[in-house]
A and B are shown apart, each in its own frame.
Chain A
C-alpha cells in the first residue's frame, strides 16, 4: 500500500505522466467515468471497494491511499 501505487493508477487512467501525491484527480482532467476506473483498479490491487463518494472526498493519491489504508 503506497501513495506511489495510487499515483500510478491515476497516471494510467488519465494517461498522463508523473502524478504528484497532492494532485486532484478532477483538476487533472478526470471525470466520473474515469473515477470508476480508478476504483476498479484499487479494488483489484488492494482488495478495497470504495464508493464514488469516498473518491470525491479523497481525490488525491495521498488522501485516497490514506482512505484505502484505513479500510484494509
Chain B
C-alpha cells in the first residue's frame, strides 16, 4: 500500500487520513469546499469568540471524539442550562423550571415508553436484522400508536430535535435505530450527563483544522470536487475537474447523497441512498447579543415552540468573553420551508419569533443563518434520514468496500450514527480496513 486518496475533509475523512498517514501511507485528501470541516463549521461572532454553525455537542460516551480532542490539545466546556425555560406550545407563553414542557406528563411518558420499546428491540449493529418491519414511516406509526393529543403534538417536535427529521421522512426502524445508536432516549435527549453535555472550547471546527494541519502541507487539496472514481485498470484513478489522482485505495468520506453523485467505474451493485432517503432537515439560526442578557432575567435561553421557524432555542454563548448567543434550531418540515425564504424573510421571521418568545430581550445585535438543508456539499444535517426499506437494502452494504473504494462518514457508523463520534469511528474503521486488506506482502 503506497497511496490512498480520501474524498472529503470532514471529521471522518481527516481521521482516516491521519491514521493512514501515521501508518506510512502517502495520503491525499480532496475536498470540494474552500474549507475543511464538513458539517463542523465555526463562525466568529466577536473577536476571538467562535460558535458552532454545525455539529456542536458531545457527551462522555463519545470516547473516540474525546481522544481526538485530547490528542489535538483542545478542551471541552460544559453546556450551561441554569434558570427557567420558555414554552410556547399553543397555550400562550409558559415559563418554568427545567426542560420539561407543560404538557400531560402521562401522555409524554406513554410516548417515551413506546419509543423505548422500539429502542430496546432494535439491533444497533445490524438494524435490518431487528425483526422490526421496515415498511412504515414514523408518521404512520405515530398515527396508529399515539392516541393522546399531547403525545401527538410533542412527537414531531421531539423527532425534529433529536434527529432533524419530519416523522414522514423516516422509517420506524431508522427512528428506533437512531435513538438506540445515540445511546437511547434519555442520553440523546439530555444536556448535562447526556449527548449535549459539552462543546469543544472555541468551536468543533478546530478539530478538522488541526487534523488537516497535522497531515502537513499539500496533503489537503481544497476546491477539488471529485466526479469519478475509475478502478477498471490496475489501480484506482480519482477524477476532479482539474486533476486526476492515481492510487491503490480510496476512502469516500462524504454524506451518502454526495457519495451517490460520484460516478463509479465499474458501478457498485448497491449505491448509498434510495429515492426514499431524505436529507436531514436542520437550519441553525444564531441570535447574537452583547451579553447573555436572559441569564440576568433568570432564564436559561432554552425554549420549545410548537410553531416555527425556531422550534427550540438554546444558550450557545461562547464560554469565554462577553458575547451572548441564542441558537435557534429550525428542524423537520419547517426547516425546508425556512430554507427556501430570502435572507430578509428569514431574518424577519426569526426576529419576530424571538421577540414573541423572549419579549424582555432587545433586538439582537447580530444575526446568522446556517442553512444546512440546501448546503451544496453537505446535503442536509444532522445526517441522512433513511426511509422505509432503506435499512434492508442499504444496511448490509454500509461498510462493505467496493473494490478499492472504502466508505466512511457519520452515516456509515452504526455506533453514534450521524454524530461527530460516529464520523470519527468510521474514519478509524475505514483506515483499519485499508491497512488490513491492502497491506503489502512481506518479502
Contacts and interface: CB of A to CB of B under 8 A. Distances in A.
A-B interaction? yes
Interface of A: 31-43, 49-52, 55
A55 B109 CA distance: 13
Q: Which residue of B109, B116, B186, B189 has the most chain A CB atoms within 10 A of its CB atom?
A: B109
B98 interface: yes
Q: Which residue of A31, A33, A34 has the most chain B CB atoms within 10 A of its CB atom?
A: A33
Given A33-B185, A36-B100, 13 more contacts: A31-B186, A33-B186, A35-B100, A36-B106, A40-B105, A40-B106, A40-B108, A40-B109, A49-B104, A50-B105, A51-B105, A52-B100, A55-B105
Contact of A39 (B98, B109, B190, B193): B109
Nearest to A37: B109
B118 to A, nearest CB: 14
A40 B106 CA distance: 4
Contacts of A51: 104-105
Given A50-B105, A50-B106, A52-B105, A37 B116 contact: yes
Contacts of A52: 100, 105
Contacts of A42: 106
B81 to A, nearest CB: 12
A63 B3 CA distance: 67
Sorting the interface of chain B by its residue count into under 10, 10 to 19, 20 to 34 or 35 or more gives: 10 to 19
B87 to A, nearest CB: 12
Interface of B: 98-100, 104-110, 112-113, 116, 185-186, 189-190, 193
Interface SS of chain B: helix
Contact of A31 (B107, B109, B113, B190): B190
A37 B112 contact: yes
Nearest to B189: A33
Given A32-B98, A32-B99, A37 B104 contact: no
A41 B117 CA distance: 14
A53 B420 CA distance: 36
A41 B114 CA distance: 12
Nearest to B158: A33
Nearest to B190: A31
A33 B106 CA distance: 11
Nearest to B102: A52
Given A32-B99, A50-B105, A52-B105, A40 B186 contact: no
